[in-house]
Amino acid sequence: MTRRPTARFAGALAAAALVLGTAACSEDPNSVAAQAKAGDQKGYVSGTGAVETIPQDKRAEPVGLKGDLVGGGTWDSASARGEDVVVVNVWGSWCAPCVAEAPDLQKVWAGLQSEDEPVQFMGIDFREGPASGAAFAKRAGITYPSLSDKPGLLILALQGKAPTVPTTLVLDTDGRIAARVNGPVDATTLRGLVDDVLAES
């Protein structure tokens, strides 16, 4: 004769299933978001620095970015449309490669400013509060602005082109993604990409 499971045994099975189900649905600890939340700067997901350039006739729709700036105020990418090339850098002070590449970004930004080139730089401070982002920018001598993205939602507007931190995008004057560096970028590479997009105008 087959015995029916007791109520106690059935309850234990249900509890075990619940634990396993919760574990399966929990956030991946290796994801960018989870590592940013950890804030220990030990783990991060970073690209290899691979460069992608997109021909003009293959570019997607313009990127729409807007939000609050780390240091106060607001910004909308539409304000640059038709006039400026825009460099977008996704970063976080918790991300070691982001910290390492910051001087290169500032160097290119300062050079373009001194040459009065029609270029804007805009950071996206990913998954941290604006106070932390502002403190890092001041410490690192970063003079271009950044949007605050503590919830991690602004990168959704980047058309899947920012799967890792850091990522740097160059938008043409129509606001379309013309080039991408997936991972840390150096000054020479970034300046070359910007100059190429400037030459299209």
Residues 4-18 pLDDT 10s: 444 443 444 344 343
Instruction: Tell me how crowded residue 113 is: count the other CB atoms within 10 A of its CB.
Output: 13
Question: What is residue 10's three-state secondary structure?
Answer: helix
> Among residues 193, 189, 181, 194, which one has the least CA distance to residue 50?
181
The pLDDT tens digits for 37-82 are 444 443 445 677 899 999 999 999 999 999 999 999 999 999 999 9
Instruction: Show me where the domains of the chain are located.
Output: 38-198
Half-sphere exposure of 152 (CA within 13 A, CB side): 14
Residue 93 CA: distances (Å) to CA of 97, 159, 167, 187: 9, 23, 14, 19
Instruction: Tell me how crowded residue 87 is: count the other CB atoms within 10 A of its CB.
Output: 25
Q: Return mean pLDDT, the chain.
A: 84
Q: Please give the pLDDT value at position 47.
A: 76
Question: What is residue 124's three-state secondary structure?
Answer: strand
> What is 38-198's CATH topology?
Glutaredoxin (3.40.30)
The pLDDT tens digits for 87-135 are 999 999 999 999 999 999 999 999 999 999 999 999 999 999 999 999 9
